[in-house]
Amino acid sequence: MSSTEISPLAPATTPSLPDIAGVRLATAQAGIRYKNRTDVLYVALAEGTQAAGVFTRSRCPSAPVDWCRDALKTGKGARALVVNSGNANAFTGLKGREAVALTAEIAGQAAGCAPEAVMIASTGVIGEPLDARKFEGVLADCAARAEGGAEAWAQAARAIMTTDTFPKLATRRVEIDGVPVTINGIAKGAGMIAPDMATMLSFVFTDAALPQDVLQALLSEGTKTSFNCVTVDGDTSTSDTLLLFATGAAGNAPVTRDDDARIAAFRAALNDLLVELAQLVARDGEGANKLVTVEVEGAESDASAHRIAMSIANSPLVKTAVAGEDANWGRVVMAVGKAGEPADRDRLAIWFGDVRVAVHGARDPDYSEEAATAVMRKPEITVRVELGLGQGQARVWTCDLTKAYVAINGDYRS
């Protein structure tokens, strides 16, 4: 459940998102689990809106994940999105599937579309049945008052929060072949964060006119260097869902290939927006006091560098050392060694910030405990590893592991 204390790593300001033609939003209190707080987001999408998605690779996916995968296969686009917080509708068997179907039916009636044109995402407690009847009347009311504007976007980002301490929003504006287009994105996530070909919950909207196959290619590519490069606790959620919607209202000339030079700026802007949202998730890691960027260079391949970086970022010993402001580079060595990837101890070099702490398989001869500790006291820290084996490189983001993380998750269902 959401904390009353905002993460010390939260941005100083929250962006004001512009309107996007073809996207209208509304939020409501349905009493899914929480009392006296918004827990439902409804998004109305213009006819002709195309959709793409990337989802968890957990072998125990939630019922909404299965629903969205099937809906996207139809290639018929999307007319509505329904997101609830408080209950993940995961590991709920037949009841879960029936709840999703009923939710889509209720939303479809509100939107005037087929149930298959409704995308659904849920976040919260796993294993508890979701009573979809609570959406009756609520979604119809949302559809009647849905609107655009900065406040609607801000409320949407808050509605999908669980243990998040601040809403996560980002926006970009670029051109496709001289036509201005806008991209808005929101996300939620603070715990159970170690995406595997997906994100936590994130929804990105644009008025660009792009077909589904192009959207899917762009989204899948952008995820690799954004949400798949963030981890809080090493646990991949059953509900991870990233959806990208394109209303086509901008009216740019048709694009049929994802490598079309005319969408190069759009691709860059989308990738940048996804990275920003992913970093916001790391900044809001449960109990976090420090943002950690892990950079690995000189690996045999990019894939190898990524696995080593994630091994460092997911190590409880590394993360607790960061929390304790302890420049314990030995724990980084441990995490490199356990990754199962090619590494040569005697070629290894490690930096905390701009302070090199280890080189050639031993402590740096110019090592300064005072300088290294000064780096560890900062709210944002970079851990850099040079393997000296090749050209592979990777960058991932994580946070420290504090006593507050244990407290939050020990009391989560209370």
Rounded Cα–Cα distance for residues 299 and 341 (Å) = 9
The burial class, CB within 10 Å (0-12 / 13-18 / 19+), for 36 is exposed
Q: Rounded mean pLDDT of the chain? A: 94
pLDDT of 146 higher than 80: yes
Residue 85 assigned as binding residue: no
Q: Is 382 annotated as a binding residue?
A: no
Of 92, 199, 247, 402, the catalytic one is 199
Catalytic residue at 199? yes
pLDDT at residue 414 greater than cutoff 80 = no
Indicate if the pLDDT at residue 91 is higher than 90. Answer: yes
Using CA atoms, how far residue 271 sits from 226, 275, 296, 339, in Å, is 7, 6, 20, 27
CATH 3.10.20.340 residue ranges of the chain are 291-410
286 is in an annotated binding site: yes
Residue 199 annotated as binding?
yes
Compute the average pLDDT of residues 97-114: 98
Assess contact for 283 and 234: CB atoms under 8 A.
Answer: no
Q: What pLDDT was estimated at residue 399?
A: 93
Q: What is the pLDDT of residue 195?
A: 67
As a whole number, mean pLDDT of residues 40-56 equals 97
Domain with CATH 3.60.70.12 in the chain: 23-283
Residue that wins the pLDDT comparison between 233 and 352? 352
Determine whether the annotation assigns residue 162 to a binding site: yes
Provide the CA 13 distance to its chain's centre, in angstroms: 19
Q: Is 224 annotated as a binding residue?
A: no
Q: Please give the CATH topology (third level) of the domain spanning 23-283.
A: L-amino peptidase D-ALA esterase/amidase (3.60.70)
Tell me the pTM.
Answer: 0.93
β strands within 239-334, DSSP E = 241-246, 291-299
Kindly tell me if the per-residue pLDDT of 2 is higher than 60: no
Does the 291-410 domain belong in CATH 3.20.20.70?
no
